Amino acid sequence: MSNTVCVVTENHTSAVMGGAQYQSHILSNELAKAGAEVVYLAKRVDNTRTGGLNYQVQAISDAADAQRRILYRDQADLRAALGRIQPDVVYQTMRQSYTYVCAQYAKANQVPFVFHCASDMDIETGLFPDQRITRAFPVLCLEHTLGLRGMKGATHHIAQNQKQADVLLSAFGLSSDLVVPPFQELKENMPEKPNGPMRVLWLANLKDVKRPELFIELAKDFVHRDDIQFLMAGRAPESQRHIDALAEGERLPNFSYLGELDRDGVQREMEQAAIHVNTSFVEGFPNTFIEAWSNGAVVMTLGVDPVDQGMNARGVGFSASSMTELCDQISKFADNESQRLAIACQAHKYVWASHSIAWGEKLAQLVVNTAHTRHKNQA
């Protein structure tokens, strides 16, 4: 008899491509391979792009606000969906009001609830410190409060790295059942980079936390060099500030905006990129880092470094403390290809040791085992 697992996220990859969604998609595949019946519940689903999957995908709600992040309004719909499916275990990632609903359902129905940290924001003890005070602030406060209650109510907790596991224990008194770094299928061999200008790629959704304007400033600093090309990809910005910054960037001769890419597009750009730049001021463990390392692109960051012991110390990338330092290092890589290739090779070895699909198999087994344990306890 197969166990039914409900995977719950805000979005499915068919509608919105983000790190947490992509990891949940891969995990759903691994759960199905392990023999589980998987039902993926999400607020945003594009049914035209869910064919051929080895798991089911269902939209939580058909509400008119489906394009907005007003998640607490979906509580009744999410409860009803879980009630219809009657899963043996619930898996949810990203701390929000959905976390609270999953915890409530799990407690009332005596089923395991596995909560997986999606980023360092999930272990913030207070409101996100750099959040701007806008009309959405009360909604964010509510999401924060409900999400925190839900996380504390989970029966199992998964961290992305040891730092998250330590904070979960010290700040919330929650022990991590497993520390699982992000994982995906990896390339055995690094692709050769194309001839011509060195390609520097920025890949994320254009929003405040990702600081896309800094990458555009970076391109400005190299406008005098025709041997370096700056490429930005991701969902178009909604704020006027970022719309204006992007328009300014597109007037530069060394900058191109590629728009939002599907998985094939992401792989294509990573294969050609020599450097992948991240300018976020907070992250969990970006899937783009894994994709870059797998494709022989050197990861360079300004403000985040999710690698244990640090990218610089391990020789798998470069973490800059300032824009000046970031610019200097990009110049050095452009002038010294052998140095860049040495780091790319070291990073390729690291990613195979630390982020292979074997971690997904391990997590899937833990989720399935929680359901087995429940059935044994009921017998």
Residues 322-334: tens digit of each pLDDT: 999 999 999 999 9
Statement: residue 283 has pLDDT above 90: no
Cα angle 144, 24, 5; round to 5: 95
Residues 221 and 344 in one domain: yes
Residues 25 and 62 in one domain: yes
Statement: residue 135 has pLDDT above 90: no
Q: What pLDDT score was predicted for residue 1?
A: 56
Residues 118 and 175 in one domain: yes
In the three-class reduction of DSSP (H, G, I as helix; E, B as strand; rest coil), residue 255 is classed as: strand
Statement: residue 161 has pLDDT above 50: yes
Q: Is residue 86 part of a domain?
A: yes
Q: What pLDDT score was predicted for residue 225?
A: 96
Q: What pLDDT score was predicted for residue 332?
A: 97
Q: Is residue 193 part of a domain?
A: no
Q: What pLDDT score was predicted for residue 154?
A: 98
Compute how many other C-beta atoms are within 10 angstroms of the C-beta atom of residue 303.
16
| CATH for 58 | 3.40.50.2000
- Mean pLDDT value of segment 136-144: 81
Residue tagged 């509580």 (tokens): 75
Compute the mean pLDDT over every residue in the chain, rounded to the nearest whole number.
Answer: 91
Torsion angles phi and psi, residue 98, rounded to 5: -60, -35
Q: Is residue 192 part of a domain?
A: no
| Spatial distance between the Cα atoms of 332 and 229, rounded to a whole number of angstroms | 15
H or E stretch at 79: helix 75-85
Residues paired with residue 276 on neighbouring β-strands, in sequence order: 201, 299
Residues 6+ apart with CB under 8 A from 11: 18, 21, 42, 43, 44
Residues paired with residue 351 on neighbouring β-strands, in sequence order: none
Looking at the 3D structure of the chain, how many domains does it have?
2
Q: What pLDDT score was predicted for residue 306?
A: 86
Residue tagged 């008119």 (tokens): 64
Residues 350 and 362 in one domain: no
| Spatial distance between the Cα atoms of 324 and 187, rounded to a whole number of angstroms | 33
Residues 70 and 152 in one domain: yes
Statement: residue 155 has pLDDT above 80: yes
Asked if 257 and 269 count as a contact pair (C-beta separation under 8 A), the reply is no
Residues 321 and 367 in one domain: no
Residues 132 and 222 in one domain: no
Q: Is residue 190 part of a domain?
A: no
Residues 170 and 206 in one domain: no
Q: Is residue 269 part of a domain?
A: yes
Asked if 210 and 280 count as a contact pair (C-beta separation under 8 A), the reply is yes
If we measure between CA atoms, which residue out of 181, 190, 186 comes closest to residue 344?
190
Band of pLDDT at residue 2, cut at 50, 70 and 90: confident
Q: Where does residue 114 rank: exposed (0-12), middle (13-18), buried (19+ CB within 10 A)?
A: buried
Q: Is residue 191 part of a domain?
A: no
Asked if 162 and 179 count as a contact pair (C-beta separation under 8 A), the reply is yes
User: Which tokens is 172 given?
Assistant: 């919330």
Domain with 93 in it: 4-183+357-378
Residue tagged 């224990």 (tokens): 169
Statement: residue 205 has pLDDT above 70: yes
Residues 79 and 22 in one domain: yes
Q: What pLDDT score was predicted for residue 192?
A: 93
Residues 278 and 329 in one domain: yes
| Digit-coded pLDDT (tens) for 255-282 | 999 999 988 999 999 999 999 999 998 8
Torsion angles phi and psi, residue 341, rounded to 5: -65, -35
Residues 161 and 267 in one domain: no
Beta strands in the chain (DSSP E): 4-11, 37-44, 56-59, 89-93, 113-116, 156-159, 178-179, 198-203, 228-233, 255-257, 275-278, 298-302, 317-320
Q: Is residue 77 part of a domain?
A: yes
Asked if 189 and 148 count as a contact pair (C-beta separation under 8 A), the reply is no
Residues 211 and 339 in one domain: yes
Q: What pLDDT score was predicted for residue 275?
A: 98
Q: What is the pTM of this model?
A: 0.83
Q: What pLDDT score was predicted for residue 376?
A: 55
- Mean pLDDT value of segment 192-198: 95
User: Which tokens is 155 given?
Assistant: 């029966």
Statement: residue 33 has pLDDT above 50: yes
Band of pLDDT at residue 238, cut at 50, 70 and 90: confident
State CA 16 to chain mean position distance. 11
User: Which tokens is 201 given?
Assistant: 């790629």
H or E stretch at 267: helix 263-272
CA dihedral of 80, 138, 157, 180, whole degrees rounded to 10: 110
Statement: residue 251 has pLDDT above 80: yes
Statement: residue 63 has pLDDT above 70: no
Band of pLDDT at residue 64, cut at 50, 70 and 90: very low
- What is the share, in percent, of the chain residues with pLDDT greater than 90? 77
Band of pLDDT at residue 98, cut at 50, 70 and 90: very high
Q: Is residue 118 part of a domain?
A: yes
In the three-class reduction of DSSP (H, G, I as helix; E, B as strand; rest coil), residue 218 is classed as: helix
